[in-house]
Copies of this chain bind each other. A is one copy, B any other.
Amino acid sequence: MVTKKKPSPKWRSGCPLNASVEILGDRWSLLIIRDMMLRGFRSYKEFLESYEGIATNILADRLRKLMAHGIITTGRDPLDGRKVIYSLTEKGIDLAPVLTEMVLWAAAHEKTENPGLVQLIQKDKEQFLAAARERWAGKTIAARAK
């Protein structure tokens, strides 16, 4: 039989978000970004042991995709050359407002976890974002100094 090939330019653009939904519309990518941004995770092992229980191949795949999209970078821990660490890029850090709004929405409408963080964000959103940005800016530079 003649097999129809799918070259997979399936996601035609034309409306906002069409391109980014590939990365933002994925559970694991979202959770990895959240864990880096909100919990400070940086290593493969930390993500693996995160209690969502991601599989090793899926984790590797998503890290690869996030790198391909320029949202994270990889490098060696400057303090311990054996360890591989991941860092958010500028583009990744810029997702903080998206994550923040998600957390606020979830807190308002779903049963909320970690009310402390939520209250902190609610109290001063701008300051929280600035702090997150600064914290990550330093780490990114450190990681880039390979």
Contacts and interface: CB of A to CB of B under 8 A. Distances in A.
A31 interface: yes
B17 A106 contact: yes
A16 B113 contact: yes
A112 B17 contact: no
Interface residues of A, number: 51
A101 B97 contact: yes
14 contacts: A10-B53, A11-B52, A12-B51, A13-B113, A15-B114, A16-B103, A16-B112, A17-B106, A20-B102, A21-B27, A24-B102, A97-B105, A98-B98, A98-B101
A64 to B, nearest CB: 18
A60 interface: no
Q: Which of A13, A14, A51, A109 has the most CB of B within 10 A?
A: A109
Contacts of A103: 16-17
Candidate in A22, A38, A39, A106 with the most chain B CB atoms within 10 angstroms: A106
